[in-house]
Homo-oligomer: A and B are copies of this chain.
């Protein structure tokens, strides 16, 4: 008889909450408001980021999924995840930031499964080492069951100014691998980030939380009792979703719960080296996909559609036609049927300016 490795066994009572939102404007024209990042196969695996998130979590939670997405994307999410029961795909009437989305999932789970532990994992992240991820979630789930709000702390691979950080404190008694959180810190300058890395005591905050639903809602209630009550009322009577939703505060879970709870000593962190990436822009996508053995361009898609002479960077021939690149280093070329982007890896963050300009120019159809 074969014994499966520990990391592939389901975790008792763990529910995967998957917020599937975000415009991903820095990945335009691949990512659109009508077809956002999480619905796209950005890694060339044949699976979208949402599907990859599902595939990674299914061994841990089996069929205990709750996906929260925008109403416009509900059908696309359901089509991409035939394994997930339709009733487990919750459509927000409008985008009201992460506290409302994840808080509603918490309120629904609180009613449904008193023993539930929920893990919230965004639909548009990439994790290269799912086994290590599974182990980190297992450790986090055990601490969460004891009443902690648990975050995964991603080992930083460089001094990024694009992420918030979590400051590791003492080891947590009874939970090897978990630490107290001293504090969450906002996106630092690169200089400050370098100082963080030098200490070895800071991790990236990737917004991944594991917690008992009741603990999360009770923490929210400490700062905003009406918000927590409103979420619980919607869960108790889903018919009120449409009318109640628009009145909810628009605030990130980090600000509403995690930061004040950390200040109160209620948050712990499980450091995790899992090959995490949020594919924030085409520069990070190029890093994710590049083959360090070749000094040419990386192609996401059909390489027979790309001709290169003395160039490096990322080419996405998603328009189905030949793309030729001559004499440019670290270039980014993204061809789609109705829009083409040409930029550099260094300027990849500025792509959002194009999306804004297109809106100003009345070309919302292209955003």
Q: Which residues of A contact B (CB under 8 A)?
A: 28-29, 304, 307, 309-310, 319, 321-328, 331, 333, 335, 337-344, 346-347, 350-351, 353-354, 357-358, 361, 363, 366
Number of copies: 2
- Please name 20 further chain A to chain B contacts, defined as beta carbons within 8 Å, in addition to the given A307-B361, A323-B340, A326-B341, sorted by A numbering: A29-B322, A304-B361, A309-B357, A310-B350, A321-B338, A321-B339, A322-B338, A322-B366, A324-B341, A324-B342, A324-B343, A324-B351, A324-B354, A324-B358, A325-B343, A326-B344, A326-B353, A327-B343, A327-B346, A327-B347
A354 contacts B342, C-beta separation under 8 Å: no
Return chain B residues, CB-CB under 8 Å to A343. Answer: 324-328
B327 contacts A344, C-beta separation under 8 Å: yes
- Min Cβ gap A145→B in Å is 47
Return chain B residues, CB-CB under 8 Å to A344. Answer: 326-328
Instruction: State in angstroms the CA–CA spacing of A353 and B327 once bound together.
Output: 11
Asked if A324 meets B361 with Cβ closer than 8 Å, knowing A309-B350, A309-B353, A347-B310, the reply is no
Asked if A326 meets B350 with Cβ closer than 8 Å, knowing A307-B357, A309-B357, A358-B307, the reply is yes
User: Nearest chain-B residue to A351 (Cβ)?
Assistant: B326
User: Nearest chain-B residue to A325 (Cβ)?
Assistant: B342
- Chief secondary structure at chain A's binding surface: mixed
List 28 A-B pairs, Cβ < 8 Å: A29-B324, A304-B361, A307-B354, A307-B357, A307-B361, A309-B354, A321-B337, A322-B338, A322-B358, A322-B363, A323-B339, A324-B339, A324-B340, A324-B341, A324-B342, A324-B354, A324-B358, A325-B341, A325-B342, A326-B341, A326-B350, A326-B351, A328-B342, A328-B344, A333-B340, A333-B342, A340-B340, A342-B342
Return chain B residues, CB-CB under 8 Å to A28. Answer: 324
